[in-house]
Amino acid sequence: MRVLIVDDALFIRRTLKMMLEQNGYEVVGEAEDGVEGILKYNELKPDLVTMDITMPKMDGLAALKAIKKINPTAKVVMITALGHENTVKESVLSGASGFIVKPFVQEQVLRGLSAFK
Amino acid sequence: MTNDNSAVPLSHLFVFETKQMLEQLERLILDGEKSGGLKTSIDEVFRIMHTIKGSAAMMLFNDISSLAHSVEDVFYYLRETKPLTVDYSELADLVLRTIDFIKDEVEKVENGSGPDGDCSGIREKSREFLSVLQVTDRVIENNSSKSVGDEQKCQYDIDANPKSLGEDKTKYQAVVYFDEDCGMENIRAFTLVHELGELAQDIEYLPKDILENDGSAEVIKEEGFKIEFTTTHSLARMQAFFTKTMFLKKFHLEMVDTIDVAKPPKIKTIDLGDQIFESALLDDPVMPIVQEIVPHGDSKQSFISVNVSKMDILMDLVGELVIAEAMVTQNPELQGVTLDKFYKSVRQLRKITGELQDTVMSIRMVPLSATFHKMNRIVRDMIRQLDKQADLQIIGEQTEVDKNIIEHISDPLMHLIRNAVDHGIESSEERIAKGKSAVGKIRLEAKSAGGDVWIVIKDDGGGLNREKILSKAIERGLIANDDGLLTDQQVYSFILQPGFSTKDVVTEFSGRGVGMDVVAKNIEKVGGTISVDSVQGEGTTMSIRIPLTLAIIDGMKVKVGNSIYTIPIIAIKESFRLQDQNLITDIDNNEMIMIRGQCYPVLRLHKRFKVQAAATDLQVGIMVMVEVDGKSLCLFADSLLGQQQVVVKALPSYIERIRGIAGCTMLGDGSVSLILDVAGLA
């Protein structure tokens, strides 16, 4: 499964990438803000996008909406921290396929994403 | 799960990234304060705190994470409600304290020990700040008596018009359990309901208040989430739907006739525990792609962190290489032999060693900006403490110097800046009384000139007191008496003497921790010099001259008797042989040369260093005009030997620092040449 990671923190991108690549996912790209995320999505057409919510330039929610416009069946999993329930609600209404709560461990990510396999 | 293997580079990354963010944050806060309020950077601060929180939580540094979280809360509130009354300076204090705490903790991580600081004090502060904000806000809100709450309360209704059960519709009841620790169970339930809306109608669920009440997450965790719905889809389709839900641990699904949501049905339990995981893996035909993953070139990483000691070794090796190259290409045994092809190769070798050396040097070059911006913080904290007003102006922060040098000048700079604020800048009242603007000015400027970097700290404060320094100097026996011959600069440089830095000496200068003599020593350690200039009542200027790099310079070798000296090329203006008519001798027998209408003093190197010269007649030897710091002079030597890159080595520690000598270097034939410090000669 080809995954695009969108997150402004290099640390989180690295962590996710490592977790995913060691478990049979192919990380086809990384983006560090919403705008780049949309562009990369359009270019790479990944099967799955992990999307951070708080990011510079354009936040994850706006990027999600844009991606959903490009492809209504796009699978976007939001990465969120506790305490952002409202944003998560909104992202679910905007078509997010689910969300993972930070801080996460590998098992959580894999279990969560296994729903899309 | 993170194993030890992978945790090592991740913690490095965490340290690196967090430090960068903290620096950015500090700059934001300080800039924001200057331009009046943090308003414009609220989003940015929020985002950075959020990111730090996330990363710290991943590293299980709970204190950092919870502190960042509480500050994030404050900024979240600021961002969302845009309150009218915010004490921005208090807020800046809070964030800066947070930055300090996290910085300390991150440093602990960097040094290999775990973070163990206690942030409860700051966290409490942050909470207090937030509650004050909320209270004042509510007061204002009440005055305008507007209820915003209604909007948020409105419930998300899945299907507004319940339909009667059609023939092909079936009613289902489901209870789902989510994975432990997946977080936000109520929102997950909401997600489920939302997606179910595409397949089913008449959806009812328990607990009902999944959106309004975050406490419902607990209920769902313990008792599961109960849903009832009708659909035209088959049981298998609905099972597939539930299986595809993220973090679903298990679910019960059954067909029912009556609505009894509260009682969980007991049939058709599908446990999604480990089996779903395994079966998903087995079912997936593309599973063995693990080995096929192509490394992708578009990753963002464009830096590596390298151990500094490795860099030092590399630098040393390059230095040795330059010497070895000279030893080969200028080998005495080659003299007088025609070797065209050999010299062609030599040129190639020289070009490559040159490039190699430039590259290695540039790796070590670091802009002064980080060091300079630290000063911003110091000034800010001090003026708040001392109740003064001062503005720090930073110029030329992009100037690059060797990393080693940065480490050595950071403390002296800090000390000088402190002095400027503490003792230089007067209180606002005093300044106004003197006819100055109430806000003191401190200028921190860096520039490169020639082979050196100059750092100038200039304040427009009270200045030094010549008389007081003189009397102290006499008292300490540094000079016999005040004969009025000492220049101001000479007098002021007394403050750099050891023991001259105690508080009672000169009111304008007292040290905190280190004295001015320590500052001077530190700067000398990297081959730099410091000079003091001051005008009483108008301010003090400290000029620090540091070599661009400690390592390799272009030098001109000159012969004086049997010795070979090296003059840094960068200081040389011109070399010429003297014409008789240009020589002037003054009453004290000081020799000077008149060139293009300008007079330049002559310094005979053989006299200066007391060596036997081959040429004592100024018209026989060669004049090398050098310039440093605006001063020019002509050095007189026997002859020029040629240009060479030399590796600067410090003089051995058993030789006292000699004025006019910057260090020594080894020449191609293995002999030692002293490198002249032009500023010391001038």
Q: Is the pLDDT of residue B616 over 60?
A: yes
Residue B461 and residue B535 share a domain: yes
The answer to whether A12 contacts chain B (CB < 8 Å) is yes
Reported residue count of chain B is: 682
pLDDT exceeds 80 at position B280: no
Whole domain around residue B55: which residue ranges?
4-141
Does residue B462 have a pLDDT over 70?
yes
Q: What is the CATH number of the domain that holds B234?
A: 3.30.70.1110
- CB contacts of A77 in chain B (<8 Å) are 246
* CATH at B557: 2.40.50.180
pLDDT 10s digits, B577-602: 887 667 888 778 888 888 888 888 88
Please write the tens of the pLDDT for every residue from B162-172: 444 455 677 88
DSSP assignment of A26-40: EEEEEESSHHHHHHH
Query: What pLDDT is stored for residue B559 in this prediction?
Result: 92
Show Cβ contacts of residue B582 under 8 Å, excluding neighbours closer than 6 positions: B593, B594, B595
* Range of weakest confidence among B37-51, B154-168, B554-568, B608-622: B154-168
Residue type, B439: V
State whether A77 and B246 contact (CB < 8 Å).
yes
Task: Give residue B184's pLDDT band: very low, low, confident or very high (50, 70, 90).
Answer: confident
CATH no. for residue B102? Answer: 1.20.120.160
What is the number of other CB atoms lying within 10 angstroms of the CB of residue B557?
Answer: 19
B101 lies in the same domain as B199:
no
Give yes or no for residue B514 having a pLDDT over 90: no
Does A10 contact B300 at a Cβ distance shorter than 8 Å? yes
Q: Are residues B401 and B526 in the same domain?
A: yes
Contact B2 A106 (CB under 8 A): yes
For chain A positions 66-95, those within 8 Å of chain B (CB to CB) are 77, 80-83, 85, 88-89, 92-93
* B383 and B522 within one domain: yes
Residue by residue, DSSP assigns B464-487 as --HHHHHHHHHHTTSSS---S-S-
Strand partners, B132: none
Q: Is residue B288 part of a domain?
A: no
Give the pLDDT confidence of A83-97 residue by residue, as tens digits.
777 888 888 888 888
Say if residue B400 is in the same domain as residue B541: yes
> What average pLDDT score do residues B555-566 get?
91
Judged by DSSP in three states, A105 sits in coil
Mean pLDDT of chain B: 77
Residue B349 lies in a domain: no
pLDDT at B525 over 90: no
At B287 the pLDDT is: 37
Q: Would B337 be classed as within a structural domain?
A: no
Nearest chain B residue to A5 by CA: give it: B299
- Chain B, residues 34-53, CB within 8 A of chain A, namely 44, 46-47, 50-51, 53
Only one residue has tokens 């007081």, namely: B468
Contact at 8 Å (CB) between A85 and B186? yes
pLDDT band at B289 (very low <50, low <70, confident <90, very high): very low
Give pTM, 2 decimals.
Answer: 0.50
Please indicate, yes or no, whether residues B592 and B673 belong to a single structural domain of this protein: yes
Residue B452 pLDDT? 76
pLDDT of residue B457: 92
From chain B, the residues in CB contact with A32 under 8 A are 300
CATH topology of domain A2-110: Rossmann fold (3.40.50)
Q: Are residues B422 and B467 in the same domain?
A: yes
Which residues on neighbouring strands pair with residue B443, listed in sequence order? Answer: B393, B458
- Is residue A14 within 8 angstroms of chain B, CB to CB? yes
Segment B48-100, tens digit of pLDDT: 888 888 888 888 888 888 888 888 888 888 888 777 677 777 888 888 888 88
> Phi and psi at residue A106, in whole multiples of 5°?
-55, -45
Q: Which of B569, B564, B562, B531 is nearest to B548 (CA)?
A: B569
* Sequence-separated (6 or more) residues with CB below 8 Å from residue B484: none
- How many residues does this entry show for chain A? 117
Q: Three-class SS of residue B640?
A: strand
B245/A99 Cβ within 8 A? no
3-state secondary structure at position B130 = helix
Within 8 A by CB and 6+ apart from B22, the residues are B52, B99, B102, B103, B106
Domain boundary among B547, B567, B597: B547
Q: Exposed, middle or buried by CB within 10 Å (0-12, 13-18, 19+), for A20?
A: buried
Pairwise CB contact (< 8 Å): B211 & A89: yes
Q: How far is B120 from chain A (nearest CA, A)?
A: 20
| Contact criterion met (CB < 8 Å) for A56 and B44 | yes
CATH of the domain at B373: 3.30.565.10
Q: How far is B190 from chain A (nearest CA, A)?
A: 8
Of B44, B76, B191, the CB nearest to A98: B191
Instruction: Confirm whether B569 is domain-assigned.
Output: yes
Q: Are residues B541 and B592 in the same domain?
A: no
Q: Rounded to whole angstroms, how far apart are CA atoms A25 and B478?
A: 76
Joined together, the tokens standing for residue B351 give 């070009």
Is pLDDT of B622 > 80? Answer: yes
Average pLDDT over residues B218-229: 83
Compute the radius of gyration of chain A from its Cα atoms. Answer: 12
Q: How far is CA A86 from CA A98, B214, B461, in A?
A: 14, 10, 54
pLDDT value of position B154: 40
Among B267, B283, B299, residue at a domain's last position: B283
The mean pLDDT of B25-39, rounded to a whole number, is: 78
Pairing relationship of beta strands B572-576 and B563-568 according to DSSP bridges? unpaired
Strand bridging mode B529-535 / B452-459: unpaired
CA distance B373 to B511: 21
- Summarised one tens digit per residue, pLDDT across range B354-371 is 888 878 877 878 888 888
Looking at residue B558, its pLDDT comes to 93
Q: Tell me how far apart the alpha carbons of residues A1 and A49 are, in angstroms, rounded to a whole number.
A: 11
Residue B86 CA: distances (Å) to CA of B130, B378, B385: 10, 24, 21
Q: What is the pLDDT of residues B654-673, one digit of tens each?
A: 877 778 888 888 887 778 89
SS3 A64: helix
Chain A residues with beta carbon closer than 8 angstroms to that of B183: 82, 101
Structure-model confidence comparison of residues B22 and B163, the more confident one: B22
- What letter represents residue B454's amino acid? W
Sheet bearing B225-231, strands edge to edge: B200-206, B225-231, B170-178, B248-255, B269-271
B572-576 and B583-585 beta bridge pairing: unpaired
pLDDT greater than 50 at residue B512 = no
Task: Verify whether the Cβ–Cβ distance A82 to B287 is below 8 Å.
Answer: no
**B568 prior amide bond cis, ω within 30:** no
> pLDDT category, B523, cuts 50, 70, 90?
confident
pLDDT, position B279: 36
The strand order across the sheet containing B390-395 reads B390-395, B440-449, B452-459, B539-547, B529-535
pLDDT score at B567: 92
Q: Nearest residue on chain A to B191, judged by CA atoms? A: A92
Mean pLDDT of B171-198: 81
Q: What is the pLDDT of residue B501?
A: 53
Task: Report the C-alpha gap between B673 and B306 in whole angstroms.
Answer: 33
Cis peptide before A103 (omega within 30 of 0): yes
Q: How far apart are CA B395 and CA A94, in angstroms?
A: 48
Shared domain for B103 and B183, answered yes or no, is no
The complex scores an ipTM of 0.78
Among A79, A82, A47, CA closest to A63: A79
> Within this chain, do residues B222 and B274 fall inside the same structural domain, yes or no?
yes
pLDDT of residue B155: 43
A8 and B47 within 8 Å at the Cβ level: the answer is yes
Split at pLDDT 50, 70, 90, the class of B263 is very low
On whether both B539 and B584 belong to a single domain, the answer is no
* Counted domains in chain B: 4
* B538 lies in some domain: yes
Mean pLDDT across B621-646: 86
Q: How confident is the model at residue B143 (pLDDT cuts 50, 70, 90)?
A: low
pLDDT of residue B566: 92
Within 10 Å of residue B141's Cβ, how many Cβ atoms?
15
Q: What residue ranges do the domains of chain A occupy?
A: 2-110
Indicate the SS3 state at residue B670: coil
Residue B462 burial class via C-beta count within 10 angstroms: exposed 0-12, middle 13-18, buried 19 and up: buried
Same domain (yes/no): B416, B493: yes
Residues 6+ apart with CB under 8 A from B495: B464, B469, B501, B505, B506, B509, B516, B532
Burial of B654 (0-12, 13-18, 19+ CB in 10 A): exposed
pLDDT of the residue at A95? 87
Please give the pLDDT value at position B242.
80
User: B46 lies in a domain?
Assistant: yes
- Per DSSP, B556 falls in state E
* Domain-embedded: residue B146: no
Q: Cα separation of B325 and B225, whole Å? A: 78
Q: Which residues on A lie below 8 Å from B299 (Cβ)?
A: 17, 30
The predicted structure's pLDDT at residue B147: 43
The last residue of one of the domains, among B283, B316, B350, is: B283
Q: Is A11–B194 a contact, with Cβ atoms under 8 angstroms apart?
A: no
Mean per-residue pLDDT for B510-538? 75
**Tens-place pLDDT, residues A22-78:** 888 899 999 988 889 988 998 899 999 999 988 888 888 888 988 888 888 889 999
Task: Note whether residue B289 is domain-resident.
Answer: no
